[in-house]
Amino acid sequence: MSKSTLLIIGAGGHGKAVAEAALLSGEWQRIAFADDRWPALRETFGWPVVADVAGLAASKVTLAGVLRLAIMPCAHGGSRPFVPPGCPW
């Protein structure tokens, strides 16, 4: 299977952990993030932030030939469990 880019939705600490695990797996060559702080946030933890979440829909044609998978880490920094809308579990 060819290595390609993993797009992680959310450029916070949990997204960083997912990025590190993905690179260590050897399955991914590149990491990119989508985060609603874009375009003010262009890079996080040394990886590029390429769009906000709404911008992903607009760029789906461009991304289709580049990405193999997009993932949204489900985490919240508060003291209570939180499941974002659309999180499958």
The residue that leads in pLDDT, 53 or 86, is 53
Percent of the chain with pLDDT over 70: 62
pLDDT at 44: 92
Indicate the domain borders of the chain.
4-71
* Average pLDDT rounded to a whole number, residues 34-61: 85
CA distances from 16 to 1, 47, 58, 61 (A): 24, 9, 25, 26
* Average pLDDT rounded to a whole number, residues 70-86: 56
What confidence tier does 19 reach under pLDDT thresholds 50, 70, 90? Answer: very high
pLDDT greater than 60 at residue 10: yes
Per DSSP, 12 falls in state S
Dump the DSSP string for 53-88.
HHHHHHTHHHHHTTEEEEE-----SSSS----TT--
Q: Which CATH architecture fits 4-71? A: 3-Layer(aba) Sandwich (3.40)
